[in-house]
Amino acid sequence: MGDGRQSGGKVAEGRAINAGPGRVLIAVYAIFALSATARAGVQIATKFSDAPVAYLLSALAAVIYVLATVGLARGGRAGRRIAVVCCTVELVGVLTVGTVSVLVRSVFPDDTVWSYYGRGYGFVPLVLPVLGLYWLWRTARPAVA
């Protein structure tokens, strides 16, 4: 594809997203996928009526983390696309839910993963999609567009 800039082992689709630092990212996403799924499961099973909006959001976040983990682990074009979509949704989600939770406390009587920009999780939910998108961008083929 005529890219004189790159050397050795780099294919036209860009570098693999599921090797090197990418595997650390997969590990972090896997941890969040596990904890968010478990948390949403417990919340919905034991006290759904307390805060349905918050718990449905927890479930949505869990699904996004699971999909992002799968996308990053799978790699290839499809995996990359899944990961880009998930990281973007995550970033928009954490910014939106974070802002709403700060401005209108009553919307979320119980915390979600994304409340207060992920404060309950050491702000990792805020940093993670940024790291994810950065990694996906860095490993992508130099953009023509």
Cβ closer to other proteins: 38 or 92?
Answer: 38
Q: Determine the Cα–Cα distance for residues 137 and 68; give it in Å rounded to an integer.
A: 15
- The sign of the CA dihedral 22, 27, 31, 34 is positive
Least distance in angstroms from the C-beta of 62 to other proteins: 13
Q: Determine the Cα–Cα distance for residues 89 and 105; give it in Å rounded to an integer.
A: 22
Cβ closer to other proteins: 44 or 95?
Answer: 44
Cβ closer to other proteins: 7 or 46?
Answer: 46
- The sign of the CA dihedral 89, 64, 116, 96 is positive
Cβ closer to other proteins: 3 or 110?
Answer: 110
Least distance in angstroms from the C-beta of 20 to other proteins: 5
Residues touching other proteins, count (CB under 8 A) = 17
Cβ closer to other proteins: 4 or 9?
Answer: 9
For the segment 1-60, give every residue that binds other proteins (CB under 8 A).
Answer: 19-21, 23-24, 26-28, 30-31, 34-35, 38-39, 42, 45-46
Per-residue tokens: 5 = 């800039």
10: left (phi over 0), alpha (psi -120 to 50) or beta: beta
Least distance in angstroms from the C-beta of 122 to other proteins: 9
27, 48, 81, 135 from 73: Cα distances, Å: 9, 32, 12, 13
Residues contributing to the site for other proteins (CB under 8 A):
19-21, 23-24, 26-28, 30-31, 34-35, 38-39, 42, 45-46
